[in-house]
Structures are given as C-alpha cells and as structure tokens.
C-alpha cells in the first residue's frame, strides 16, 4: 500500500485476511447490536405504556371481575402487569370453584400464580440484554486480537528489509489498529444501552412487584370483608 494512502477504506482493503475477517465480524456484531438496541427501546416503551394504561384502569374503581373479563378478552395485546393480574385472578377463581374458602389458601394461590407470571414476563422483558452485555465485554478483545495479528503480520513483512522507516511501518500498524477501533465502535453503544436498559428493567420489575403486593392486599381485604368475593377494591 502507498504510504501516503492512509484512508480507512484503503487500510481495510489492504489488511491481512485475518484482520479483514475480524473487522467483518465486528461490523456484523455492531449491526446486530444496534438492531437489538432499537427493538429493546421500543419494547420497553410499549411495556411502560401498557402497564400505565392498565394501572390507571385498575385504580379507576372498575370491579376486579370486570377487569379480569377484559384481560381475558385482550390477552394477546395485554401488557405484563395486566397478564400478572389475570394470572392471579384466574388462580383465585379456580380455587373458589373447588369450594376452597380458606382466605390464606386463596391468597397464597393467587400470589404464587402472580409471582410465576411475573418471572415469565421478566424473562421476556430481559431478552437481548445478555447479548448486549456480551457485545460490550467481548468486542474490544476481538478487536485487540485483530490488532495483534495485524501487527505481527506487518512486522513479519519487514523482516527482509535492510532499512525500516516510519513510512514503511505506519501503514501496517494503522491497518491493525482499525480492528481495535471497530471493536470499540461495537462495544461502546452496547455498554451504554446495557446500563440504560438494565436500569429501566429494574424500574419495571419494581413497579410490577409493587402492584402484586397492592393487589394481594386488596384480595386480603375483600376476603376479610366478604369471604369468597373479589368484586371490588
């Protein structure tokens, strides 16, 4: 490569095949990472919106039975909080159909159903987060591998030269360093997104756990006032 031709494109095209493979791999990972970031961004926005809508309806005074009927009809488009509520009410109704009247048994059954549903919902919400974490932690090392290999390849080429100048060394070293730059380009957005999403997911989880406790308290009050009834809150 001409020592004066130091554009990024020229550096990539003139790199060794191993370094080019590393660069191509990192570019592919970066594209996948950005796709995961945008999917997660919109998914979390939708989760928060659906949870807020259901919570407003829940506290508007609508009866629990009416809310449960609506959740059953809207199961495909319901948010996580609504599905958690529906799981608790479904178990509560099943226990009542079995003629179980003990308040503790009814409440424990509903709570266990909601906790199981909560865990399923969190598994879905947390999807892709581990991928972003892997990209953030591994990409710089993959880029570093490409750089080390490129430097080794460059110095091997200088072995037969009687006189090595900076003009001879610079292009080979620059080619190798591009791999590290691409690795960092892939890793930095993944790190930022991972930390942001982890914080947002923790807030969603806390919000949903709080709802489970509030709904359990409502069921407990209803069971104390009118055993076997869950008509209002």
Long-range contacts for 90-96 (Cβ within 8 Å, ≥24 apart)?
92/219, 92/230, 93/68, 96/228
Distance (Å, whole) CA 72 – CA 83 = 9
The tens digit of pLDDT for each residue in 140-185 reads: 999 998 888 878 877 776 666 666 565 666 666 777 788 888 899 9
pLDDT at res. 225: 57
Indicate the average pLDDT of the chain.
Answer: 85
pLDDT at res. 121: 95
pLDDT at res. 3: 45
> What pTM was estimated for this model as a whole?
0.80
Per-residue pLDDT averaged across 201-223, rounded? 93
Contact 80, 47 (CB under 8 A): yes
């Amino acid at each position: 490569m001409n020592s004066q031709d130091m554009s990024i494109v020229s550096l990539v095209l003139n790199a060794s095949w191993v370094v080019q493979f590393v660069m191509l791999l990192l570019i592919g990972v970066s594209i996948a990472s950005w796709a995961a970031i945008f999917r997660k961004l919109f998914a979390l926005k939708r989760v928060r919106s659906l949870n807020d809508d259901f919570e407003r309806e829940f506290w508007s005074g609508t009866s629990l039975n009416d809310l449960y009927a609506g959740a059953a009809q809207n199961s495909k488009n319901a948010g996580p909080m609504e599905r958690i509520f529906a799981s608790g009410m479904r178990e509560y109704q099943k226990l009542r159909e079995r003629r179980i009247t003990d308040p503790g048994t009814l409440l424990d059954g509903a709570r266990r159903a909601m906790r199981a549903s909560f865990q399923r919902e969190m598994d879905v919400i947390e999807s892709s987060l581990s991928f972003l974490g892997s990209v953030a932690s591994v990409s710089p090392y993959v880029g570093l591998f490409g750089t080390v290999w490129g430097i080794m390849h460059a110095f091997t080429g200088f072995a037969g030269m009687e006189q090595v100048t900076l003009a001879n060394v610079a292009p080979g070293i620059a080619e190798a360093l591009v791999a590290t730059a691409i690795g960092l380009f892939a890793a930095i957005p993944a790190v930022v997104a991972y930390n942001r999403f982890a914080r947002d997911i923790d807030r969603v989880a806390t919000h949903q756990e709080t709802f489970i406790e509030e709904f359990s308290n409502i069921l407990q009050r209803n069971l104390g006032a009118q055993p076997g009834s869950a008509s209002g809150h």
